[in-house]
A = this chain, B = another copy of it.
Amino acid sequence: MSFEPDTLVYNEAGLIPAIAQDSETGEVLMMAWMNAESVRRTLESGRVTYWSRSRQAFWVKGESSGHVQELVEFRFDCDKDCVLVTVRQTGPACHTNRRSCFYTAVRDGEEVELMAPEH
């Protein structure tokens, strides 16, 4: 069955959450948002392309930082309302220069920092 980006389920702002996972380590790197055109561009270009809610613009991940995400596989879930992209991540995924945005854990009620910024 041929895939049509418009058949995914977008929220009232026309967006769908997209989880990026490292294709080799399995690490969850970040979550950001896509619209139908971001989905289309991601699939066509092989460069993961989000929609920046703050800038209200397409966001080719790494376009300014060089920390690009090369698409390995594009998946969506049973309800078609969430995307999972497995990627080859160049450099850190997080804008804080950490490998993953999920660098804070809660242990025994305390916030614990799991990784330091890369240099």
Closest residue to A96 on the B side, CB-wise? B78
> In whole angstroms, what is the CA distance A75 to B113 when docked?
10
One digit per residue, 1 when the CB lies within 8 angstroms of any chain B CB and 0 when it does not, for chain A 77-117 equals 11100101000000000111010011111110111001000
Tell me which residues across on chain B come within 8 A of A79, comparing CB atoms: 101
A77 CB to nearest chain B CB (Å): 4
Residue in B closest to A12 when the chains form the complex, CB atoms: B12
Report copies per complex: 2
Min CB–CB distance A109 → chain B (angstroms): 6
The reply to whether A19 and B28 contact each other, CB–CB distance below 8 Å, is yes
- Number of interface residues, chain A, beta carbon within 8 A: 37
In the complex, A66 has a CB within 8 A of chain B = no
* 11 CB-based A-B contacts, threshold 8 Å: A3-B110, A17-B31, A28-B28, A43-B109, A75-B106, A76-B104, A77-B102, A78-B94, A78-B96, A78-B98, A84-B102
Query: Hey, which bits of chain A sit against chain B, CB under 8 A?
Result: 1-3, 17, 19, 21, 25-28, 30-31, 43, 73-79, 82, 84, 94-96, 98, 101-107, 109-111, 114
